[in-house]
Structure 1
């Protein structure tokens, strides 16, 4: 394949992505309009909580679509100093509705001194959110415990994301980051595959410890001596 063929392929992919954005926005607009009508009709506070969740989820989808449209205008390789504390706090905020719906207990155990790393904030946030959402989905409602730990050594900063969920069996561990692999009903096997690519592009090492029935721990290591 020559350079012109490669450019043509990329243009085709970009055009297809924009088409998908357009098609997704149509039903998303219907959802937003329906939410407006329901908001005027539903007065029960318990039900309005779910309206809020739907609204925030719709806004999140809209933001993702906007970012996709602006993809060519943004330098997605941009790395700069970022706070691990702030990154994890943002991840928990993004996952807050899922946490509330499953009544997950969240514990933050951060080292007192902030840990600064050189990463792409947007991409790292997406990667960690994927891990956290998977952890939430693996736990039983009302019994879930999610622990977020930040530690620092002379050589590296480290994040641990621990859950007390169903764990991962041997087949799952072997195929965990493979594109298209998923053991969840309706799963398409993209989340952790994309997560690994993001972590590699930011020079973050990942280790996973898990057994079926005993929960899972993701450990992310950010070396102090290695820049993207």
Structure 2
């Protein structure tokens, strides 16, 4: 009982351990999922900030390209150098609105972007006016062009300052977001490491628990196997002792029956002798012509003879007989007994199945008497089966240094009361049976130091198990 309680506690502890580990892993997985999502969002924000910084740089570069294109036109007096200027004007508008969309969440940045737009438009106005005047004055520099150049430079410096301020602001945001990303990355690593540690602890816990429980289970299995073997051995010993006891009781019963039979035979035969002598005397003293008296004398003599025959049969079936032993094959003896019962087998349309051990050793028996014993058993089996549906199975094999014979039928079977009285003299349920056939069979087998037992159930047939020592 204590072992069962202890096992229950161990099982409860194992369940609690696995349940806790599973819960921890589930929580760590959810945290990992959440942190990973935050890391992805932060990465997108960092990417967005970097894009804003680069677009601001591109915005300023467009102004520089426009200014460089104008200077190349002035120096070389070739309008092809104005291509960067025109391209800058084309790209500036979309880039401005793109930047404005990207910084829509920051009012300060939007205000500065609006200022940058004004400075950009003013810068383009200065450059456009300078290009027109330079062209109209036959590509000569004038004071107004120089003034445009001076004001454009100041405008460009202001634009550069605003763009730099915006970039610095975005870089501050970038630094903060990078720090947040790093923090979340560290948190994610921590959660992963903790999860791995928990998983490792779970593995170690499971392994140790499995090894412990497996060791205990193997020990319990070995003990159970030992107990089982001991129990089987004790059952075998008990079965052997029980069989020996039954055999001893049967021998005692058989001997007691023989003693009773001999006593009855002695006590009955003496009066029968006197009766027979008296009848003979009366025959000689009475008139031979008195027919009625002779009929009664014959009746007395006939029944006296009948009683004497019955007593002789009882004595013969309950006394140990003298044997003329020889080494013979039990398979051959069974075949000869079957041959003697061939007419009955054919008449009742019985199917015979023989499963002989062909390598079985010989037995030392009185051949004719053992054939009588086998024949009695076979005849009883045939008479117990239904005509046309009977199956007689005969089996021989060696077991525990003994020759074993099994004769089995699929007849009506017997109840426990019939089994207990089966070998008693004059016990028979047959209409014409004397009740001495199986008694004589038992006498023959016991005289050979053999053993006979019967297994039967109503409706399931009967099996006779006979054993002899090998020759």
Tell me which moved more, 204-213 or 96-105.
204-213
Q: Computing the radius of gyration over CA atoms, which structure comes out larger, 1 or 2?
A: 2
CA distance in 1, matches of 2:454, 2:335: 22
CA distance in 2, matches of 1:135, 1:216: 8
- Check the 8 A contact 1:76/1:120 in 2, yes or no: no
Which residue number corresponds to residue 190 of structure 1?
436
Matches within 5 A, 1:2-81: 76-81=322-327
Any gaps of 5 or more consecutive residues in structure 2?
1-265, 270-320
Deviation at residue 76 of structure 1 after TM alignment: 4.6
The alignment status of 1:220 with 2:469, answered yes or no, reads no
CA distance in 1, matches of 2:380, 2:419: 14
CA distance in 1, matches of 2:403, 2:362: 8
- 1:149-177: per-residue Cα shift (whole Å, max 9, x none)? 00013511100000000111122111000
Matches within 5 A, 1:125-136: 125-136=371-382
Match of 1:111 among 346, 349, 357: 357
Which residue number corresponds to residue 329 of structure 2?
83
* SS at 1:208 equivalent: strand
CA distance in 1, matches of 2:368, 2:448: 11
The alignment status of 1:121 with 2:367, answered yes or no, reads yes
Matches within 5 A, 1:152-167: 152-167=398-413
CA distance in 2, matches of 1:202, 1:96: 26
CA distance in 2, matches of 1:220, 1:132: 12
Deviation at residue 186 of structure 1 after TM alignment: 1.8
Higher helix share: 2
- Check the 8 A contact 2:325/2:364 in 1, yes or no: yes
TM-score, with structure 2 as normaliser: 0.32
CA distance in 1, matches of 2:322, 2:340: 20
RMSD: 2.7
CA distance in 1, matches of 2:360, 2:457: 32
CA distance in 2, matches of 1:98, 1:164: 16
- Check the 8 A contact 1:85/1:115 in 2, yes or no: no
Match of 1:140 among 382, 386, 394: 386
TM-score, with structure 1 as normaliser: 0.65
Which residue number corresponds to residue 277 of structure 2?
none
Which residue number corresponds to residue 40 of structure 2?
none
Higher strand share: 1
- 1:204-223: per-residue Cα shift (whole Å, max 9, x none)? 11110001111000011112
- Check the 8 A contact 2:413/2:462 in 1, yes or no: yes
CA distance in 2, matches of 1:186, 1:192: 14
Which residue number corresponds to residue 340 of structure 2?
94
CA distance in 2, matches of 1:135, 1:212: 14
* SS at 2:441 equivalent: helix
CA distance in 1, matches of 2:411, 2:374: 17
Higher relative contact order, structure no. (Cα contacts within 8 Å, ≥ 6 residues apart)? 1
Q: Which runs of 4+ in 1 moved over 3 A?
A: none
Paired residues in the alignment total 160
CA distance in 2, matches of 1:112, 1:83: 10
Match of 2:421 among 152, 170, 175: 175
* SS at 2:337 equivalent: helix
CA distance in 1, matches of 2:437, 2:379: 10
Tell me which moved more, 112-121 or 172-181.
112-121
